[in-house]
Amino acid sequence: MIRRNTRLRREYLYRKSLIGLERDQYLKKKAISDALNKGQPLSKDLRKDAASILDEMEYEGDVKEAMNPPTDASDRFPKVSDTSLAMDSEYALAGISDPQVLITTSLKPSSKLLTFAKELKLVIPNSVRINRGNHPLKELVEACRQHQATDLILVHETRGNPDGLIICHMPYGPTCYFSLFNVIQRHDIDNVAPMSLQTPHLIFDQFETKLGQRVTTILKHLFPPAKDDSTRVITFANHNDFISFRHHIWKKSGKDIQLIEVGPRFELQLYHIKLGTLEMKDAESEWVWRPYINTARKTNVL
């Protein structure tokens, strides 16, 4: 079974790499088309492959369109979908149905970790929490595949304090590893509001880089789309590569809007993204945090 899943993952990555080749070919065709329209010489990079590309364009009927372009230049060639070219094509089918998330813990969890897992179940709609027992990771991942779960969330602890959270997307990954800091559960928050069962609106602040967009995609697809009248808000705010998680409901009285914290409250720090699921030991790493590499200037990655 492990070999089969590894083979399926490699086939998936190969199909995704072909999308990049199709994009390069599309951009070359567009550059040749622009050169034909303007009567300009081809660049050195295009001269080598110009003959074969022109033959392909002539076969597809694009040369005539290039010589007689339509009024809208963007219609010369078929548009390439941003979704199909995105790095996050694992989530291409995410909008068809609501996500189904399975939440569990590490082996022999403490009462504090179990309480934190229960609160995560209330935070994420359509999620199910199960007791870990003695089940190995291989069985958990296979159970998620068989029951068509979209994501597996695994929380870890050290000496009774939650300090790790893993999000594994099904069926082929990616798997995202976070460190947990400053975990404050609901019963430790003063004047905490009752938990709402509405689907929350999501706020992502300062996720500007490609890696930040990648993390945004992984996190937002844990939640189904929210309705317009929902009064529940979840915020992921990035500051110096620490992601602050905050959970509120809002009430409107006249022209004023009041935010009431629901909890829990914690910080996340990303340290690894793996192109595979939890049980794939030889899966390729997409990104790894390396804090001890000497650099001239420390910059934020998210």
* Residue 85 confidence (pLDDT): 42
Q: Are 56 and 33 within 8 A, CB to CB?
A: no
Residue 300's contacts (CB-CB under 8 Å, 6 or more residues apart) are 209, 240, 241
Residue 131's contacts (CB-CB under 8 Å, 6 or more residues apart) are 104, 105
pLDDT band at 300 (very low <50, low <70, confident <90, very high): confident
Query: For the whole model, what pTM was predicted?
Result: 0.74
pLDDT band at 55 (very low <50, low <70, confident <90, very high): confident
Looking up tokens 């993204």, which residue turns up? 273
Please give the CATH architecture assigned to the domain spanning 89-288.
3-Layer(aba) Sandwich (3.40)
Compute the mean pLDDT over every residue in the chain, rounded to the nearest whole number. Answer: 83
Residues 195, 207: Cα–Cα separation, whole Å: 27
User: In this structure, which amino acid lies at residue 164?
Assistant: G
Q: Choose the weakest-confidence range: 52-66, 69-83, 228-242, 267-281.
A: 69-83
Domain-by-domain residue ranges, the chain?
A: 2-85, 89-288
Q: Choose the weakest-confidence range: 57-66, 139-148, 149-158, 238-247.
A: 57-66
* Residue 97 confidence (pLDDT): 87
- Does the pLDDT at position 87 exceed 80? no
Q: Are 204 and 220 within 8 A, CB to CB?
A: yes
* Residue 169 confidence (pLDDT): 94
Residues 88, 174: Cα–Cα separation, whole Å: 9
Give the containing element (helix H, strand E) for 133. Answer: none
pLDDT digit string (tens) for 130-166?
999 899 999 999 999 888 899 999 999 999 999 999 9
- Does the pLDDT at position 302 exceed 80? yes
Rounded average pLDDT over 75-83:
41
pLDDT band at 15 (very low <50, low <70, confident <90, very high): low
pLDDT band at 51 (very low <50, low <70, confident <90, very high): confident
- Does the pLDDT at position 111 exceed 90? yes
Q: Which residue from 142, 108, 148, 110 is spatially nearest to 128, judged by alpha carbons?
A: 148
Q: Which position has the higher pLDDT, 240 or 54?
A: 240
Rounded average pLDDT over 79-86:
41
Cα dist. 251→222, 230, 247 in Å? 25, 11, 14
Hey, what are 41's tokens? 């010489």
Q: With both helix axes pointing from N to C terminus, report the angle between 50-60 and 2-38 in degrees, rounded to the nearest 10.
A: 90
Residues 130, 48: Cα–Cα separation, whole Å: 59
Residues 176, 225, 253, CA angle at the centre, nearest 5°?
115
Residues 13, 89: Cα–Cα separation, whole Å: 10
